Structure 1
Amino acid sequence: MANNKKSNKNQQPSSAKFVFWMVGIVVVFILGFIFLGNHTKPDEKAKTKETIDYSNQPFLGDESAPVSIIEFGDYKCPNCKQFSEGIVPIIQQELVDSGKAKFYFMNDSFINIDSIRSAKFAESVFQELGNETFWKFHDKLFAKQPKDPNAEKMDVFTEKFLADTLKELVSDDEAKKVVENFQAKKSDKAWEKDMEYAKKLGVTGTPTLFVNGKMFTGSIDDLINMVEKAAKGKKNE
C-alpha cells in the first residue's frame, strides 16, 4: 500500500496507539476491506516477492530507513481514500517517524480514465515540483475524491480540475510547468513503471501493501510487528 519530506507529526508512538484504539471499531472496519483487497481486479494471481527499484519514487520518511513499505493505490478508489486519511497517519507515526520504514506510493490505476489521468498528473507534480509538493497534492486529491457512489464511472478528475487543484498549493507558474510536463507525456514512463510492478507483483486490489517486496495482509498491529521485525533483522546483518 516520501521527502524532501512530508512534514512529520511530533506525537509519541504511545499517543498513536491511543488514537488507534479510540477509533478501534472504525479502523477495524476500514482494515477489513483495505488489507483484504476489497477494490479488486479479476484474473490476476498474487505473487509473494519481487526485486523492486525504488529510485525516483515518492516516499515518506528517511532514505536510510531499513524497511520499505509500498502502497499501490488509485486516486478514484474510495478504499484508498479511507486508507490515506485513516491508516497512513498511523503508519507514519508508528513506523516512518521512528525511522524504521520508508513509505512509498505507487500507482495501480484501473478504475477509469480519471485514475490514469490523475496518476500521470501527480507523477508530473513529482517530477517538476519535488517530493514534498507531490504529497500535498496526493493528499488533496484524496480529500477531493467525489462522494457520489457513481463517481467511479464519472469523468471528474479532468486536466482543468487537476490544474486548478494544484494551484491551491503552488503558484500559477509552478502549476504551468506541471501542466506542460503532463501534456508532453513526460510522466508516462514513471506511471508505466508502477503499472508494470503492479502486474508483476500480482496486485489484485487497491490499496495493496508490500513490505520489502513481500505482499502484506493482516491488521495494523500485524503490519507494525512485521516492520519492526524486519528492521531489527537489518540492524543485525
Structure 2
Amino acid sequence: MANQKPKAKGKSKPATKNYVRNKNQRSSSWIFWVIGIIALGIIFVLFVGNFGDKNDDSNNGSIDYKDQPYLGKESADVKVLEFGDYKCPVCKNFNETLFPEINKDLIQTGKIKFYFINYPFINVDSRRSAQFAETVYSELGNDSFWKFHELLYKKQPADHNAEKQDIFTEDFLVKTLAEATSEKDASKVKKAFDASNHDEDVKKDEALVSKLGVDSTPTLFVNGKRFEGGTYDDLKKRVEEASKGKN
C-alpha cells in the first residue's frame, strides 16, 4: 500500500502529518484532525468525512459501557467514546494535542466520562496492543490502564513507515508498562497475558465498532451519537447539548 502524503489545508497550518485510516487500510481522501495555530493559542479542528449512512437516533441506551476504561467523575451524565488504534498516527496526534484540552475542559470539570474503545485493524501489533491494554486494565485497574495508554501513544514511532511494521512486540509492551507503572506490575501483567490475552474483550469492542458503523480512527461518539462537528468548540457545544438532554 502506498504511503499517503498529508494534504495542506491553508498556509498557516504546521507541517504535521495527519491522516485517517479506514477499515480497508486505504488512504483517506480527507484529513480528519488538523492543528491550526492562532495568536492566542491552539485551535484543534476536526474535519469529518462521509461515513455512509448516519443514524440520527441516540445509541446511548444500547451501548454497554460496563467494564470499559474511562476517565471522569461517576456523576458525569455525558459519555464520550473514542474509537482508536494504537498504531494509528492520527490517534497519536489526537491524544497528544486535542485530548489534553478535552481533559482540562470536559473531564476534570465533571462534564463527561471519556471512554476508549479498541478498533485494532492497522497491523498485527494493533491487536496485540489492544489485547495487552485489556490485560493491564483487568490486572491493574483503570489508573494504570490510562498511564499505559498515554505512554504507548507517545512511544508510537514518528516514521509512518512503522505503521505496517510489527513494532509493538510483547517485549516492547512489557517494557512500556514497566515505565508507566513498575517492574512488579509489568511482570504481573506479562504472566496474565501469557495465560490469557483477553481477546474476548477486544472482540467485544469490535462488536460495538460494527454495531455503530465505525470505519475509521479516531472516531468520537457523544452519548451514543457520532460527533460530526467541525471544531473543538463544536465538540464542547455538543457536550453541553447532550447534558441538557438534546439529541
TM over 0.5: yes
Q: Is the 8 A contact 2:89 2:160 kept in 1?
A: no
How far the C-alpha of 1:67 sits from its partner, in A, is 0.3
RMSD of aligned residue pairs (Cα, Å) = 2.1
Q: Is the 8 A contact 1:68 1:101 kept in 2?
A: yes
1:23 alignment partner, SS class:
strand
1:106 alignment partner, SS class:
strand
Gaps of 5+ in 1: 1-18
1:220 is matched with: 232
Cα distance between partner residues in 2 of 1:20 and 1:87: 18
Cα distance between partner residues in 2 of 1:140 and 1:186: 20
1:127 is matched with: 138
Q: Does 1:198 align with 2:198?
A: no
2:42 is matched with: 23
Cα distance between partner residues in 2 of 1:149 and 1:75: 13
By relative contact order (CA 8 Å, sep 6+), the higher-ranking structure is 1
Cα distance between partner residues in 1 of 2:39 and 2:120: 29
Going from structure 1 to structure 2, the CA distance change for 1:124 and 1:21 (only over 3 Å counts) comes to farther
2:180 is matched with: 169
So what's the TM-score if we normalise by structure 1?
0.81
Q: Is the 8 A contact 1:74 1:107 kept in 2?
A: yes
- Please give the residue correspondences for 1:62-101 in structure 2 after superposition, counting only pairs within 5 Å: 62-101=73-112
Gaps of 5+ in 2: 1-37
1:133 alignment partner, SS class:
helix
Cα offsets for 1:99-153 (capped at 9, x unmatched): 1110000000010101000011011111111111111100001000011121111
Going from structure 1 to structure 2, the CA distance change for 1:213 and 1:116 (only over 3 Å counts) comes to same
Q: Is the 8 A contact 2:147 2:181 kept in 1?
A: no
So what's the TM-score if we normalise by structure 2?
0.77
Aligned residues: 205
How far the C-alpha of 1:185 sits from its partner, in A, is 2.3
2:149 is matched with: 138
Q: Does 1:152 align with 2:178?
A: no
1:57 is matched with: 68
Q: Is the 8 A contact 1:46 1:201 kept in 2?
A: no
Going from structure 1 to structure 2, the CA distance change for 1:20 and 1:72 (only over 3 Å counts) comes to farther
How far the C-alpha of 1:170 sits from its partner, in A, is 2.5
1:6 is matched with: none
How far the C-alpha of 1:186 sits from its partner, in A, is 4.7
Cα offsets for 1:194-235 (capped at 9, x unmatched): 11101110001100000111111112111101111211339x
1:99 alignment partner, SS class:
coil
1:167 alignment partner, SS class:
helix
Greater helix percent: which structure? Answer: 1
2:122 is matched with: 111
How far the C-alpha of 1:173 sits from its partner, in A, is 2.4
2:180 alignment partner, SS class:
coil
Cα distance between partner residues in 2 of 1:214 and 1:233: 12
Q: Is the 8 A contact 1:72 1:105 kept in 2?
A: yes
